[in-house]
Structure 1
Amino acid sequence: MENRTFTISVYSENNVGLLNRISGIFLKRHINILSLNVSESEIDNVSRFIIVVETTEKWVKNIVGQIEKQIEVIKAFYHTDEETIYLENALFKIQSNLLFDEKQIQNIIKESQSTIVTVSRDFFVISKSGRRSEIEEVHAKLKPYGIMQFVRSGRISVSKEKMEVSTLLEELKL
Structure 2
Amino acid sequence: MEEARIYTISVYTENTVGLLNRISGIFVKRHINIESINVSGSEIDDVKRFVIVVRTTEKWVNNIVGQIEKQIDVIKAYYHNDEETIFLETALFKIASHLLFDERQIQNIIKDSHSEIVTVSRDFFVISKSGRREEIENLYEELKPYGIMQFVRSGRVSVSKSQMEISSLLKEFVH
TM-score by length of 1: 1.00
- Alignment match, 1:19: 20
TM-aligned CA deviation for residue 137 of structure 1: 0.3
Pairwise mapping of residues 69-80 of structure 1 onto structure 2 (< 5 A)? 69-80=70-81
CA displacement, residues 12-34 of structure 1 (integer Å, 9 cap, x when unaligned): 00000000000000000000000
Mapped partners of 2:40, 2:18: distance in 1: 15
- Alignment match, 2:34: 33
Q: Aligned to 2:149, what secondary structure does the other structure show?
A: strand
Q: Runs of 4+ in structure 1 displaced over 4 angstroms?
A: none
TM-aligned CA deviation for residue 173 of structure 1: 1.1
Matched AA of 1:88: E
Mapped partners of 1:160, 1:18: distance in 2: 27
TM-aligned CA deviation for residue 157 of structure 1: 0.2
- How many residues end up aligned between the 2 structures? 174
Mapped partners of 1:151, 1:168: distance in 2: 36
Q: Aligned to 1:166, what secondary structure does the other structure show?
A: helix
Mapped partners of 2:126, 2:74: distance in 1: 38
CA displacement, residues 66-97 of structure 1 (integer Å, 9 cap, x when unaligned): 00000100000000000000000000000000
- Alignment match, 1:46: 47
Mapped partners of 1:61, 1:132: distance in 2: 24
Mapped partners of 2:95, 2:55: distance in 1: 33
Q: CA RMSD in A?
A: 0.3
Matched AA of 1:29: R
Q: Aligned to 1:147, what secondary structure does the other structure show?
A: coil
Mark the runs of 5 or more structure 1 residues left unpaired by the alignment: none
- Alignment match, 2:166: 165
Give the share of equivalent positions with the same residue, in percent: 76
Matched AA of 1:44: D
CA displacement, residues 128-155 of structure 1 (integer Å, 9 cap, x when unaligned): 0000000000000000000000000000
- Alignment match, 1:117: 118
Mapped partners of 2:169, 2:127: distance in 1: 41
Mark the runs of 5 or more structure 2 residues left unpaired by the alignment: none
Q: Aligned to 2:44, what secondary structure does the other structure show?
A: coil
